[in-house]
Amino acid sequence: MKLITGDFKDVTVERLGINGEGIATLNRMVIFIPNLLPGERAKVEITRVEKNYAEARVVKRDNDSKDRVKAPCPIYDECGGCQIQHMSSRLQMEYKEEIVRNAFRQKTKLNVDKSDIRPTIGMEDPWYYRNKSQFPLGTRRGEIVSGLYKPNSNHLVPIEHCMVQQRDTTNINNAIVRILNELDIPVYDARRDTGYARTIVVRSGYNTNDVQVVLVVGHEDVPDLDELSDRIMELPNVVSFHININANRSGVIFGYRTVHIAGQEKMDERLDDVHYHLSPRAFFQLNPAQTEKMYREVVEAAGLTGEERVIDAYAGVGSIGLWLAPYAKEIRGMEVVPEAVEDANDHMRENGYNHVTYVEGRAEHWIPRWVKDGWIPDVIVVDPPRTGMDHQLINSIISSKTKRIVYVSCNPQTLARDADQLMKAGYKVNYVQPYDMFPQTSHVESVVVFEKKKKKKY
């Protein structure tokens, strides 16, 4: 019997999907149902039907899994920023390991049951960990509010307290909302191209307590900007204030131009004994406590002895390069964001590493050029975005004949896709280590070590 939108069905969840949703099967059709766990039975309403799958919502749950917990966040069901607060910590860790295993199982010929895919490394206290907030602005009953958009909608859910954000970020965000209301600075309306305030971005130092504020605006001529700046700089720990101009109608947070308004141009941060100075647009890991663990893993995985040439691809501000620098003969890195390249080179100079250089551009351009000049990397470290590695970059890495690749991934699907190409080119998976970088969400990061197979001698 064909499923129809609006149908009510009784289902039993068999497993979990990559977004934390429960998966049931009915009439050979896969049904995705948020907020259901394996083994739970429920009456659901079909909300969407496609050729190969359907989506549904829970009408009534008949039983509770032993791994179901009460989500502590009062707006968990409405916000959508977290997907798995209703899972026990044990299930969250097992679930994230299984996401990684399934990705390799589906996209590669790796025998996941015999390979070294390790248990997920989690946090002792998986709350209040995010060091950066990006809250869009809107209005409610004439008052400016900030929050997150409900999934698949234009409905802004106001948020005054977020249980996965560092407290400084939400406290400063809320204070800025109050200041915007008191100064009567209008919220930007993209459809009419009117108003100003669009998004508040707050980054808080994990080990320094420094706070950096960026107000994204639709137009540069913000009214009462001097008073706004003075009041923001008076907030606790704020050391840096910028505005970013973005009149784009898309959902992209930042525009192309950022203007320094007050305080320091960059904020200070420290992970272990490594110091960073961060520009507003520079990418930096959002969970510093877990980042320290993961970067230690990367250093160990790289296996440096002081004699190796290393490439740091997708380098950002040189976050990983700074950890590798004491153990490498030479490091070369690249990044497409000019401000990040500047930050990365500044970091190396400040730390006295004159054997590390970063250049602007794409890895697939620079790697073949360096190899052609005779500079052959021993180790390549990549930390790509969710889209994974560019196909040309994979070919460049393969052509470089590097012995070892350390892949830091934030998306198991693209990781496994890229791994398949590397394995076909003669690399083996040494091990896979998942990390819970974003507790209470369905995201999982991994460190994967690839080694070039040695040719058999006959």
> Is 335 annotated among the ligand-binding residues?
yes
Q: Alpha-carbon distance 208 to 383, whole Å?
A: 25
Task: Return the SS3 of 434.
Answer: strand
314 is in an annotated binding site: yes
Containing 42, the helix (H) or strand (E) segment is: strand 41-49
Choice among 73, 82, 162, 410 that is catalytic: 410
Rg for the chain (alpha carbons), in Å?
Answer: 24
The two structure tokens encoding residue 285 = 């890991």
Q: Is 458 annotated as a binding residue?
A: no
Q: Are 309 and 366 in contact (CB under 8 A)?
A: no
**Tokens 């950096």 map to which residue?**
212
Cβ–Cβ under 8 Å, residues 411 and 96: no
Contact predicate 204/131, CB 8 Å: yes
Which stretches within 80-238 are classed as H helix?
Answer: 89-107, 167-183, 225-233
* Distances 312 to 83, 228, 363 between C-alpha atoms, Å: 32, 40, 9
Which residues contact residue 55 at a Cβ distance below 8 angstroms, ignoring those fewer than 6 apart?
31, 32, 33, 46, 47, 48
Element holding 450 (H helix, E strand): strand 445-452
268 annotated as belonging to a binding site for a ligand: no
Give the type of residue at 154. N
Residue 162: active-site member: no
Phi-psi bin for 425: left (phi > 0), alpha (psi -120 to 50), beta? Answer: alpha
Helix%, strand%, coil% for the chain, nearest 5: 25, 30, 40
Where are the strands (E) in 336-378, listed by range?
356-360
The binding site consists of 285, 314, 335, 383
User: Which residues are known catalytic residues?
Assistant: 410
The binding site for S-adenosyl-L-methionine consists of 285, 314, 335, 383
